[in-house]
């Protein structure tokens, strides 16, 4: 059995559409919790589309994150097929992203890494999509933050469990 400490950090990425609203919000929120618990994990985010590549997070995402004490520095990027090897967990923000990511996956091992964010929330019910707040107001961004917050404990449990697994 290999030494769990030698496995390196557990790697998580969040994926939404353009990587300027939902996924960077989830990234910065989870990052704070990982740091607070001193877990050996890293988190980032990307989008299924590349039209915002290089752009900062949406100003409403930044405002919402800062209002709640989270960091917000971000540069959008597009998820690439070859990245599956770089992650232990690829978290899609809605069913459309889930389908796109699983279609992009090279094999079952890659597909098994892809999960919906709200699947980590035991109170989520049947609708596991995090709605896109892009065309809405600040209240929609607050709602997205609330949905992410509810899933964080389950994601942290998954990370803790993964850190115990020597792969």
As annotated, the active-site residues are 16, 22, 132
Q: What is the DSSP-derived secondary structure letter of residue 107?
A: S
Query: For residue 127, how many C-alpha atoms fall within 13 Å in the half-sphere facing its CB?
Result: 4
Rounded to whole angstroms, the Cα distance separating 10 from 4 reads 11
Rounded to whole angstroms, the Cα distance separating 41 from 109 reads 20
The secondary element (H helix, E strand) that includes residue 47 is strand 41-47
CA 99 from centre of chain: 16
Give residue for tokens 């997070």. 57
Contact predicate 144/22, CB 8 Å: yes
Pairing status of strand 89-92 against strand 114-116: parallel
């Amino acid at each position: 059995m290999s030494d769990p400490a030698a496995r390196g950090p557990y790697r998580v990425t969040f994926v939404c559409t353009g990587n300027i609203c939902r996924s960077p919000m989830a990234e910065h929120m989870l990052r704070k919790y990982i740091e607070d618990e001193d877990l050996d994990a890293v988190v980032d985010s990307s989008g299924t589309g590349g039209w915002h590549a290089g752009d900062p997070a949406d100003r409403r995402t930044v405002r919402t994150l800062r209002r709640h004490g989270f960091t917000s520095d971000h540069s959008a990027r597009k998820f690439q097929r070859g990245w599956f090897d770089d992650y232990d967990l690829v978290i899609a923000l809605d069913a459309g992203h889930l389908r796109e990511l699983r279609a992009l996956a090279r094999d079952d091992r890659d597909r098994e890494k892809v999960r919906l964010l709200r699947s980590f929330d035991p109170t989520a019910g049947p609708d596991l999509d995090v709605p896109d707040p892009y065309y809405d107001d600040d209240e929609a961004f607050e709602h997205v933050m609330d949905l992410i917050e509810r899933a964080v404990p389950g994601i942290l449990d998954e990370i803790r469990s993964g850190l115990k697994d020597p792969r």
